[in-house]
Amino acid sequence: MPSPYRAIFGRPGTKSFSAAGLLGRMPLSMMGIGIVTMVSQLTGRYGLAGALSATIALSAAVIGPQISRLVDLHGQRRVMRPATLVSLAAVAGLLLSAQQRWPDWTLFAFAACVGCVPSVGSMIRARWAEIYRGSPRALHTAYSWESIVDEMCFIVGPILSIGLSTAWFPEAGPLLAGGFLAAGVFWLTAQRATEPVPHPREHRPKGSALRSRGLQVLVVTFVATGAIFGAIDVVTVAFAEEEGHKAAASLVLAVYALGSCVAGAVFGLLHLKGHPARRWTVGVCAMAVSMVPLQLVGSLPLLAGALFLAGLSIAPTMVTTMALVEEHVPRAKLTEGMTWTSTGLAVGVALGSSAAGWVVDAAGAARGYLVPGAAGVLAMLVAFAGYRWLRPRPAASAAGGTGAEVPGRDAAPVERRDQESVA
């Protein structure tokens, strides 16, 4: 039986844009942890390191959806290239100011501009959605594949970023991340054949994609989920340093991503029935429960095992989120809608990394794992409270779809229902 993954790459150009997306997304796993490693080595201040990482994430959260909205209007090439150049210039300024020991405010100024970076993952998923619109099974596999690519970045990226910054010079990790961003974005935007057609303003529904109640629930839940990821990154680096093996933090975080990668690969092979809202809620709860063992670990091997188990719930939840975004966001705003979920994660990463940095400075690394634990509980509570906005609608149930089938036939009515509920 042919692999579903092999089948989705039968369309021309799919291998090239997915490969470009891999390069362009490497900074997701390298920049934040690279900044934490660099600043902690140069100054020994985890609070400052976490705050700078949080600033980058918050900046991306504010600017990212606006960039994606412009992409929906004008196309990927016209918007992504200039935005990337601004971000790369800010990265250069941040590394220079850190290396020259300039005042802290200069670090924060450059960090705020680093966030002017396009959401490469959303751009890639928008291309898959354009190619396989009306084929929910193929689209489920494509989204699963991109989840695997995400986790490949988080397996390799921290190892490169932390490893190079500790073995060569402190700025090496963020510097390489900037190189990956430039290569990925310019390669991707050179591929015009698979670029989604822009939707001019006069042909788009009015208002932001975030007016959708369903999308609001996803974004708020992802704020708490992002806090889990941001906190785990910072605390794991500190925990490894307390154990006397700071460089081993990259391997431990890679194991975390490996668990998600394995789960995503299996998830993409499954032909699941029923509405994705139920699977999504189960996934969020599983992430929350998986934070409990982290409070009990006392060594790096035990931490790696606990993080591998915690990672198993990530990719399936992310894949299901994309199906829900498609259901609650009209086609003309799909890139923006996907970016809003990334924005939720970015805000959460900012809050989680900052909070974890302060807790580590005040009480030690072991206590730092209380931060992702609390964030997991919050994510679960929000998911339960907002489930009524995500649960199956009569139209979806009648169609017998999985949630990915509805947008192709009825995307605009879905948004109208959500916007009427907002009003």
Whether residue 228 lies inside any domain: the answer is yes
Write the DSSP assignment of 142-210 as a string of letters.
Answer: HHHHHHHHHHHHHHHHHHHHHHHHHHT-TTHHHHHHHHHHHHHHHHHHT--TTSPPP--GGGSPSS-GG
Cα Rg for the chain, rounded, in angstroms? 20
Instruction: Say what the pTM is.
Output: 0.72
Dihedral sign of CA atoms 189, 195, 199, 204 in order: negative
How far apart CA 304 and CA 327 sit, in angstroms, is: 36
pLDDT at site 397 = 37
Dihedral sign of CA atoms 218, 224, 121, 88 in order: positive
How far apart CA 267 and CA 356 sit, in angstroms, is: 31
| pLDDT tops 80 at residue 67 | yes
Local confidence band at 179 (pLDDT 50, 70, 90 cut-offs):
very high
Whether residue 183 lies inside any domain: the answer is yes
Whether residue 412 lies inside any domain: the answer is yes
Tally of CA atoms within 13 A in the half-sphere of 149 that contains its CB: 24
Whether residue 144 lies inside any domain: the answer is yes
pLDDT in tens, 237-257: 888 888 888 778 878 888 888
Q: Cα torsion for 408, 413, 415, 418, to the nearest 10°?
A: -140
Q: Cα torsion for 14, 19, 22, 23, to the nearest 10°?
A: -140
How far apart CA 257 and CA 115 sit, in angstroms, is: 23
Tally of CA atoms within 13 A in the half-sphere of 192 that contains its CB: 2
Across 296-321, average pLDDT: 89
pLDDT at site 409 = 31
Across 381-398, average pLDDT: 71
Tokens standing for residue 421: 């509920």
Whether residue 2 lies inside any domain: the answer is no
| pLDDT tops 70 at residue 403 | no
Per residue, the 3-state secondary structure of 192-219, as one string, reads CCCCCCCCCHHHCCCCCHHHCHHHHHHH
CB neighbours of residue 326 within 10 Å: 28
Ranked by mean pLDDT, which of 168-177, 308-317, 353-362 comes out on top? 308-317
Tokens standing for residue 15: 């291998």
pLDDT in tens, 184-216: 999 999 998 888 887 665 555 555 666 778 888
Q: What percent of the chain has pLDDT over 90?
A: 19
How far apart CA 117 and CA 95 sit, in angstroms, is: 17
CATH code of 128's domain: 1.20.1250.20
- The whole domain housing 31 covers 17-191+210-422
Whether residue 201 lies inside any domain: the answer is no
Write the DSSP assignment of 251-285 as a string of letters.
Answer: HHHHHHHHHHHHHHHHHHH----S-HHHHHHHHHH
Whether residue 203 lies inside any domain: the answer is no
Overall number of domains in the chain:
1
| pLDDT tops 90 at residue 102 | no
pLDDT at site 198 = 78
Contacts 24+ apart (CB under 8 A), 12-16: 12/193, 12/194, 13/191, 13/193, 13/194, 14/128, 14/131, 14/194, 16/187, 16/191
Tally of CA atoms within 13 A in the half-sphere of 137 that contains its CB: 8
Whether residue 4 lies inside any domain: the answer is no
Which of 315, 68, 330, 329 has the alpha carbon at shortest distance from 214?
329
| pLDDT tops 70 at residue 52 | yes
Tokens standing for residue 150: 């995400």
pLDDT at site 421 = 37
